[in-house]
Amino acid sequence: MVTRAMRVLIVDDDETTLLLTRRRLEAEGHSVEVRSAAIGTTNAVRTFKPDVVLVDVGLPAMTGYELAKLLRGSSPRSRLVLFSGRERTELATRAREVGAIGFIHKSDSARIVPLLEAMLRDAARRG
């Protein structure tokens, strides 16, 4: 279990996903900010200082992969997690390519809190 509340920035263009994911995280005591588009996300990372940024890969205008690369370049300490319903093998490969600490398949969203906590613990151990 995480010893302190996580600060999570969620970037997803689906309002229902944003709402449900936010509720799940806040119900466990975590601080959450949301963005429905890639635009403005780098500023949100700078001001909110999240422990993890949960990025939908199917964003309009700029894909989640492109956003993850941008965030990796502008905020190298940000921990990124891809969030999608796409095929798991593709997500695992793309997560490595963009420097994310992992991915969460949207079918696993009911377990998002323990999955994020485990990824952050593993990332902290790796340094």
CB 104 within 8 A of CB 115: yes
Q: What is the pLDDT of residue 53?
A: 95
DSSP 1: -
Domain range summary for the chain, segments of one domain joined by +: 12-109
DSSP result, 89-100: HHHHHHHHHHT-
Question: Quick one: pLDDT at residue 2?
Answer: 47
Q: What is the pLDDT of residues 100-114, one digit of tens each?
A: 999 999 999 889 888
Asked if residue 14 has pLDDT above 80, the reply is yes
pLDDT at 120: 86
CA distance 56 to 18: 10
- Dihedral angle sign, alpha carbons of residues 96, 108, 78, 42: positive
* Radius of gyration of the chain, Cα coordinates, nearest whole angstrom: 13
Nearest to 52 by CA among 102, 7, 13, 117: 7
pLDDT in tens, 20-74: 999 999 999 999 999 999 999 999 999 999 999 999 999 988 889 899 989 988 7
CATH number of 12-109: 3.40.50.2300
- DSSP letters along 16-68, please? HHHHHHHHHHHHTT-EEEEESSSTTHHHHHHHH--SEEEEETT-SSS-HHHHH
Q: Is the pLDDT of residue 3 over 60?
A: no
Q: Could you tell me the pTM of the whole model?
A: 0.91
